């Protein structure tokens, strides 16, 4: 009974979200509350929620202060050199823009925090997508999938959880997986290339008003600087008119046939992209913004390196590190009280959205765990594995990691399900190390799970509906996970 209710609750949640019948935060609260009553345990709902909130409170604190800290670092210009390099690579070519999104997300993901990755990636790329009229779900899908592959870093969370749950060394799990993860990342770049070509065919190559449409892809260098300016705040001229788009890249379009796309005639859709919208209000990384602190650049860089080092070395709990880092960065960069209030207010929307989503997710996970649904679901799945698959439990673990890490929190999967899978594998001579490595392959899909708070930073800043993001991303993220699994088996890692 609980197994059926658990799967029904998850299915109901996903259907309502993707059909846009409920907002994620309302669905995360109301649907589990209703199914808790169906399970005959409505009287214990308060206990389940309080327990769930208690477990996720440190995550909420970490995300709140991580958003403030890295938001300040974006404000003061710490990441501007990386962003400028990516934007120069992108030029005016939609294919390069999509590939640049994947590269930027992968680089920033080295810090191990998804919220940071999405804040920096969207801040840099969103204005460029809008100017070119590219699909915003392509941006969110590529960024989330790239971050999912990189999320397997030992300080990113899943590897440490697997090591703790099975009493293994994190390095023994992660280091042999590097070749398979590298293949997965290369696949993400290849996917970005293909999606970029599709966007290029759809919107063509862009030239700003008053310029001749490029005759070939090399000619886009002539409009490169204008596009970088448009993506980082723009000028009065670029903000007042839409771009001019040449024909599809299958052949150069004559300048006289180029069509002007105006904000009044372009609309945002989930899969066909959004037209240029200068009135959008998202200014991106303005190179002349008053919050820049060039004289403090090396202080901020040193502080960030020290913060990441302390995270990796586990000198203090991560929420405490971000709390201290945010307070210090705010005090040094903005010593005047009105400036400090302005910076906190500037990031309040993201903080409130993410913190609210974390506590709403606490209701969902609290009911799943407290009622025993998640245990019954896991036992049913493990029991459904044919006896003949016992010697192949590493492959089974890799395949199960896709749906289970999507529908469950990482804590629930790694501490609740993984030990059961490892025990079943041990009975057939499968090493716990192989089981642990296989458990990491689902992370590319996990990063788009409705239970991951960082994904709401991504879709919120990109102004994309969560249902649209889910419909577009899930298939590509699942394929990426399968590529990592296949590479691990080919290399003999899994």
pLDDT digits (tens, 9 = 90+) for 97-127: 999 999 999 988 887 778 778 988 988 888 8
For the chain, give the percent of residues with pLDDT over 70. 83
Selection from 229, 238, 200 nearest residue 84 by Cα: 229
Average pLDDT over residues 471-493: 94
Other Cβ atoms within 10 Å of 23 Cβ, number: 14
For the chain, give the percent of residues with pLDDT over 90. 30
Q: Whole-prediction pTM value?
A: 0.72
pLDDT of residue 278: 43
Q: Say yes or no to pLDDT of 218 above 50.
A: no
Across the chain, what does the average pLDDT equal? 80
Higher pLDDT, 112 or 276: 112
CB 205 within 8 A of CB 93: yes
User: How far is the C-alpha of 77 from the C-alpha of 83, rounded, in Å?
Assistant: 10
pLDDT of residue 281: 43
Selection from 442, 434, 443 nearest residue 399 by Cα: 442
pLDDT of residue 78: 86
Is residue 37 very low, low, confident or very high in pLDDT (cuts 50, 70, 90)? very high
User: How far is the C-alpha of 452 from the C-alpha of 6, rounded, in Å?
Assistant: 18
Is residue 386 very low, low, confident or very high in pLDDT (cuts 50, 70, 90)? confident
Q: Measured between alpha carbons, how far apart are the two ends of the chain, in Å? A: 35
Which pairs count as long-range contacts for 367-370, CB under 8 Å and 24+ apart, including other chains? 367/9, 367/32, 367/33, 367/35, 367/36, 367/45, 367/48, 367/49, 367/52, 368/6, 368/9, 368/32, 368/408, 368/412, 369/48, 369/51, 369/52, 369/412, 370/41, 370/44, 370/47, 370/48, 370/51, 370/52
Both tokens of residue 292? 């820049």
Average pLDDT over residues 405-414: 81
User: How far is the C-alpha of 309 from the C-alpha of 454, rounded, in Å?
Assistant: 22
Average pLDDT over residues 70-81: 86
Phi, then psi, of 201 in degrees rounded to 5: -65, -35
Q: Convert 250-272 to b/e letters by CB count within 10 Å (16 or more is b).
A: eebbeeeebeebeeeebebebee
Average pLDDT over residues 189-195: 96
Q: Is the alpha carbon torsion for 344, 347, 349, 350 positive or negative? A: negative
Selection from 447, 490, 473 nearest residue 158 by Cα: 447
Q: Say yes or no to pLDDT of 276 above 70.
A: no
Other Cβ atoms within 10 Å of 113 Cβ, number: 27
Is residue 475 very low, low, confident or very high in pLDDT (cuts 50, 70, 90)? very high
Is residue 187 very low, low, confident or very high in pLDDT (cuts 50, 70, 90)? very high
- Helices H, strands E: what count in the chain? 24, 3
pLDDT of residue 231: 44
Torsion of CA 320, 321, 327, 328, to 10 degrees: 150
pLDDT of residue 333: 94
């Amino acid at each position: 009974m609980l197994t059926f209710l658990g799967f029904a609750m998850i299915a109901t949640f996903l259907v309502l979200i993707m059909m846009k019948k409920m907002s994620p935060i309302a669905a995360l609260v109301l649907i589990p509350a209703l199914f808790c009553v169906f399970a005959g345990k409505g009287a214990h709902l308060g206990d389940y929620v309080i327990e769930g909130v208690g477990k996720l409170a440190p995550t909420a604190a970490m995300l709140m202060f991580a958003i403030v800290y890295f938001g300040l670092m974006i404000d003061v210009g710490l990441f501007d050199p990386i962003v400028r390099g990516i934007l120069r690579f992108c030029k005016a070519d939609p294919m390069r823009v999509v590939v640049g999104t994947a590269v930027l997300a992968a680089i920033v993901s080295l810090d191990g925090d998804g919220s940071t990755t999405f804040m920096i990636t969207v801040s840099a790329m969103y204005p460029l997508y809008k100017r070119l009229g590219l699909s915003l779900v392509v941006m969110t899908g590529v960024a989330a999938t790239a971050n999912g592959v990189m999320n397997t870093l030992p300080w990113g969370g899943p590897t440490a959880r697997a090591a703790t749950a099975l009493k293994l060394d994190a390095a023994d799990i992660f280091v042999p997986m590097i070749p398979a993860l590298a293949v997965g990342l290369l696949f993400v770049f290849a996917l970005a290339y293909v999606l970029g070509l599709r966007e290029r065919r759809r919107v063509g190559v862009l030239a700003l008003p008053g310029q001749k449409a490029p005759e070939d892809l090399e000619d886009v260098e002539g409009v490169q600087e204008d596009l970088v300016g448009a993506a980082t705040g723009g000028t009065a001229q670029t903000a007042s008119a839409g771009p001019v788009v040449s024909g599809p890249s299958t052949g150069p379009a004559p300048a006289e046939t180029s069509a002007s796309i105006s904000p009044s005639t372009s609309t945002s859709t989930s899969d066909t992209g959004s037209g240029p919208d200068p009135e959008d209000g998202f200014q991106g990384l303005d190179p002349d913004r008053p919050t820049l602190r060039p004289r403090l650049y090396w202080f901020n860089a040193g502080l960030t390196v020290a913060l990441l080092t302390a995270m990796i070395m586990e000198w203090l709990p991560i929420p405490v590190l971000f709390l201290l880092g945010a307070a210090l960065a705010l005090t040094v960069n903005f010593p005047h009280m009105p400036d400090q209030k302005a910076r906190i207010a500037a990031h309040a929307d993201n903080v409130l959205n993410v913190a609210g989503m974390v506590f709403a997710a606490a209701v969902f996970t609290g009911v799943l765990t407290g009622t025993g649904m998640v245990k019954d679901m896991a036992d049913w799945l493990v029991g459904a594995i044919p006896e003949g698959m016992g010697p192949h439990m590493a492959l089974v673990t890799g395949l199960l990691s896709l749906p289970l890490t999507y529908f469950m929190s990482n804590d629930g999967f790694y501490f609740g399900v993984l030990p059961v899978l490892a025990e079943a594998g041990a009975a057939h001579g499968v090493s716990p190390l192989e089981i642990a490595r296989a458990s990491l392959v689902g992370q590319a899909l996990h990063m788009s799970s409705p239970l991951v708070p960082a994904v709401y930073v991504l879709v919120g800043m990109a102004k994309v509906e969560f249902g649209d993001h889910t419909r577009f991303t899930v298939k590509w993220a699942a394929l990426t996970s399968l590529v990592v699994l296949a590479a691990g088996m080919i290399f003999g890692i899994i």
